[in-house]
């Protein structure tokens, strides 16, 4: 039976921070140098986590919070790559087996890293993976399921991001995180609204997959009928899960839709100005901040959620020629 949805409390977030402190990195918050008159945008560099993605926070907390009996069964999750790495990392530390049902279009670098962490991979099409996330089951896979976003303890772990942001930028006005399933933006809002209720928290989605923005516009969880696959593989779902809508609707201020070209430009800007390699999903928040749709009153924090992207693909997307070493 599913746990009833309830708010993630500040005490739970602070407890998670202590619990996962020895596993995660306290990542830097850096100002993006955009020149005189440019907006005050800060980048929260979750691409510097041990798995190069913020998902380690939630996965480490979720696995640590399992009962001994559930943990001993082994764990499994569903992922396009980053949640899978997080759960595999935490499972390896706990000494238990891990299986990841992987969306088959995930970048090879993500698949390789999950396997290197000891995970057994089961590759499936996006629709199959999305349906399995909804049903929380997959034939032939055993163990304790760790949901990659609709999990209270996973969200509490991810919410530790907000504590760090407020420590480093107590005057923050707006925080933006990408939306895939909604776990990141719900986590950010959970900590931000508890400590500084006037901070605006927005999601960011690609134009090809924006059920969050549609749900906010309609006032109820929606299916995004015009969904298309893109290089933004770590964000942009086909639908808003009703449980996630219940979690976010009262604490998240909306979702900003950006184009794929805007996302590419954000990736290139971070590489050019700050020497940061971001995957597509990690660049969505910066693209949203630069669009002006989140307002101009800074500081605006854009969470660079991950940097797991094949380098050849990264170069192609930002317009650089890829050369292999001789």
* Cβ atoms 178, 281 nearer than 8 A: yes
* φ, ψ dihedrals at 141, nearest 5°: -105, 130
Mean of the pLDDT values across residues 203-220?
Answer: 97
CATH of 56-150 given 3.30.70.890, 3.90.1640.30, 3.40.50.720, 3.40.50.1100: 3.40.50.1100
Separation CA 74–CA 84 (nearest Å): 14
* pLDDT tier, 326 (very low <50, low <70, confident <90, very high otherwise): very low
Q: Is 72 helix (H, G, I), strand (E, B) or coil?
A: helix
**Quick one: DSSP state of residue 47?**
G
pLDDT digits (tens, 9 = 90+) for 290-322: 999 999 898 999 999 999 999 999 999 999 887
Whether the predicted pLDDT of 164 surpasses 80: yes
pLDDT digits (tens, 9 = 90+) for 128-150: 999 999 999 999 999 999 999 99
**Angle at alpha carbon of residue 147, lines to 183 and 122, rounded to 5°:** 120
List the one residue out of 219, 222, 208, 276 whose CA is nearest residue 41. Answer: 276
Residue 303 pairs in a beta bridge with: 44
* Two tokens, residue 133: 């996330």
Separation CA 150–CA 6 (nearest Å): 12
* Cβ atoms 109, 84 nearer than 8 A: no
Looking at residue 321, what is its pLDDT? 80
Separation CA 149–CA 178 (nearest Å): 12
Q: Check for a shared fold between 10-53+153-318 and 56-150.
A: yes
pLDDT digits (tens, 9 = 90+) for 19-33: 999 999 999 999 999
* Two tokens, residue 169: 């930028």
Considering the domain delimited by 10-53+153-318, tell me its CATH architecture: 3-Layer(aba) Sandwich (3.40)
Q: Domain extents for the chain?
A: 10-53+153-318, 56-150
Looking at residue 59, what is its pLDDT? 96
Computed over every residue of the chain, the mean pLDDT equals: 94
């Amino acid at each position: 039976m599913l746990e009833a949805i309830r708010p993630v409390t500040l005490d739970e977030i602070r407890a998670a921070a202590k619990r996962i402190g020895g596993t995660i990195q306290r990542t830097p918050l850096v100002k993006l140098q955009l020149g005189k008159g440019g907006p005050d945008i800060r980048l929260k560099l979750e691409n510097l986590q041990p798995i190069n993605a913020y998902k380690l926070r939630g996965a480490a907390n979720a696995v640590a919070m399992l009962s001994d009996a559930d943990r001993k069964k082994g764990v499994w999750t569903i992922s396009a790559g980053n949640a899978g790495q997080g759960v595999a990392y935490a499972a390896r530390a706990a000494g238990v087996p891990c299986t990841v049902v992987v969306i088959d279009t995930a970048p090879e670098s993500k698949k390789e890293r999950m396997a290197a962490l000891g995970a057994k991979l089961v590759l499936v099409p996006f629709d199959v993976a999305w349906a399995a996330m909804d049903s929380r089951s997959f034939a032939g896979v055993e163990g304790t399921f760790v949901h990659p976003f609709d999990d209270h303890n996973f969200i509490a772990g991810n919410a530790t991001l907000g504590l760090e942001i407020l420590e480093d930028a107590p005057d923050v006005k707006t925080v933006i995180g990408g939306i895939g399933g909604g776990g990141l933006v719900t986590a950010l809002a959970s900590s931000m609204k508890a400590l500084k209720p006037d901070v605006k928290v927005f999601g960011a989605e690609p134009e090809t997959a924006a059920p969050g923005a549609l749900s906010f516009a309609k006032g109820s969880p929606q299916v995004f009928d015009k969904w298309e696959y893109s290089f933004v593989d770590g964000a942009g779902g086909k639908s808003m899960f009703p449980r996630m809508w219940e979690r976010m609707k009262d604490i998240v201020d909306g979702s900003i839709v950006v184009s794929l070209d805007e996302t590419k430009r954000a990736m290139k800007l971070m590489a050019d100005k700050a020497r940061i390699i971001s995957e597509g999903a990690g660049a969505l928040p910066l693209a949203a901040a630069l669009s002006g749709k989140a307002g101009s009153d800074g500081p605006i924090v854009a969470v660079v959620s991950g940097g797991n992207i094949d380098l050849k693909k990264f170069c192609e997307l930002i317009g650089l020629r890829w050369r292999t070493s001789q």
